[in-house]
């Protein structure tokens, strides 16, 4: 349909059909983006509430949750560095999030493990494949 509309512009000067087609695409993209934003906000809210209900909603845990929206794949080392906490504290935090199923270990290794904020990544990748 894209090329059909472009050909109408080239052959007949019919810009109106091209503009209508283009604006429909803008509307669809905007609606899709809005839906994605709503899903992300709901995810953040539900995970915040989960942390509160499990009584681990410390400022550090909330900061970590917010960090996951910037960097959804993490290691203990980069969490330790970003939050300026010890390796052991970062490991404890990641373990808590993993037990709550917020994070999922993705390497299968015992050392140099990496964790994924998989629900967030799933939302972001919807409709991309």
Domain spans of the chain, in order of start: 39-125
- Per-residue model confidence as pLDDT tens digits over 16-53: 888 898 999 999 999 999 999 999 999 999 999 999 99
With cut-offs at 50, 70 and 90, classify the pLDDT of residue 15: confident
- Per-residue model confidence as pLDDT tens digits over 88-102: 999 999 999 999 999
Residues in CB range of 62: below 8 A, 6 or more apart: 48, 51
Q: State the pTM of this model.
A: 0.82
CATH number attached to the domain at 39-125: 1.10.10.10
Is residue 113 within 8 A of residue 104, CB to CB? The reply is no
């Amino acid at each position: 349909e894209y090329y059909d509309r472009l050909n109408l512009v080239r052959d007949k000067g019919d810009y109106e059909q091209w503009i209508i087609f283009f604006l429909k695409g803008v509307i669809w993209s905007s609606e899709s983006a809005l839906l994605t934003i709503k899903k992300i906000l709901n995810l953040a809210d539900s995970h915040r509430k989960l942390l509160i209900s499990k009584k681990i909603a410390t400022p550090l845990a909330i900061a970590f949750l917010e960090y996951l929206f910037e960097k959804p794949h993490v290691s203990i080392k980069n969490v330790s560095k970003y939050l300026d906490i010890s390796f052991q504290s970062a490991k404890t935090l990641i373990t808590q999030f993993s037990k709550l199923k917020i994070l999922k270990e993705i390497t299968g290794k015992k050392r140099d493990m990496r964790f994924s904020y998989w629900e967030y990544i799933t939302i972001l990748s919807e409709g991309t494949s």
